[in-house]
Amino acid sequence: MKNLHLWTVCALAVFGITSDAAGYVKHYCEYTQISNKTPHKTYFAGRAIFAPATSLVSSDETTEFDAGYGIGMAYGVKLNDFRIEGEMKYVDGATYSESEIDWEYEVSNTQLGLMLNGYYDIGLVNNLALYVGGGIGFVYNATNVIASNDYYNYYEEEDFFDYLFSYQIGGGVSYSLNQNLTFDLGYRYGGTSKTDYKANVKTHEITFGVRYNF
């Protein structure tokens, strides 16, 4: 009889331990597996921008710039798999230089833009997701041109300023560290309407961003 009681107590103890363990594992998995359909509705994003290629494209000439760098900030709303955001971005440092006999030409381009973006998130596994989307807006585009000739002791600098319609399309991959923090790496291609000197500005951008979900 005592042995029966002992076996009964042991069975109950094992059942209790395994139930607690299963509950802990279930709780842990539910906590660590972040759904792309996050209940948070708004977010703030900060982005580092690397522009490996920027060009001024006119009907008879294309000027290719060296790489530029910039930053971006955005505030958005998430609606299940869709996101809508307003973004402000600044990209500087895109330069072009050319030498012709005794002449030196240096051109630099800077953009400050306000964009309305939309994205669609595609959930994968292990808190990973793909996203695709684009945006439209306006940019303040500033181009600085310097022409110099040491032989003639000549130096001239001129600035061109334009407010242009702008668009961008692209995609990337994101990773949700927890319910509040999401990291993303993306690419986007952008363009503008024609400047006063009849050229379109074309850009390629690689972005690394951090989103904080409220």
Same domain, 156 and 53: yes
The predicted pLDDT at position 39 comes to: 54
The predicted pLDDT at position 146 comes to: 92
Same domain, 110 and 201: yes
Same domain, 41 and 24: no
> pLDDT tens for residues 25-73?
444 444 445 555 555 689 999 999 999 999 989 888 888 899 999 999 9
Q: How far apart are CA 37 and CA 171, in angstroms?
A: 18
The predicted pLDDT at position 101 comes to: 81
Same domain, 58 and 154: yes
Give me the number of domains the chain comprises: 2
The predicted pLDDT at position 99 comes to: 84
The predicted pLDDT at position 14 comes to: 44
Same domain, 200 and 152: yes
The predicted pLDDT at position 22 comes to: 45
Q: Is 126 left (phi over 0), alpha (psi -120 to 50) or beta?
A: left
Same domain, 47 and 109: yes
Same domain, 93 and 10: no
Same domain, 106 and 118: yes
Q: How far apart are CA 143 and CA 118, in angstroms?
A: 29
The predicted pLDDT at position 87 comes to: 98
Extract the tokens encoding 67.
């790489």
Q: How far apart are CA 106 and CA 104, in angstroms?
A: 7
The predicted pLDDT at position 73 comes to: 98
Q: How far apart are CA 91 and CA 66, in angstroms?
A: 12
The predicted pLDDT at position 35 comes to: 52
Q: Of how many residues is the chain composed?
A: 214
**DSSP states of 7-40:** HHHHHHHHHHHHHHHHHHHHHHHHHHS--SS-S-
For residue 206, give the CATH number of its domain: 2.40.160.20
Residue 146 domain boundaries: 36-213
Same domain, 93 and 22: no
The predicted pLDDT at position 60 comes to: 83
Same domain, 17 and 68: no
Same domain, 27 and 42: no
**Under-50 pLDDT residues of the chain:** 1-15, 17-19, 21-22, 24-32
The predicted pLDDT at position 102 comes to: 82
Radius of gyration of the chain (CA): 27
HSE (side-chain half, CA atoms, 13 Å) at 182 = 31
Same domain, 115 and 10: no
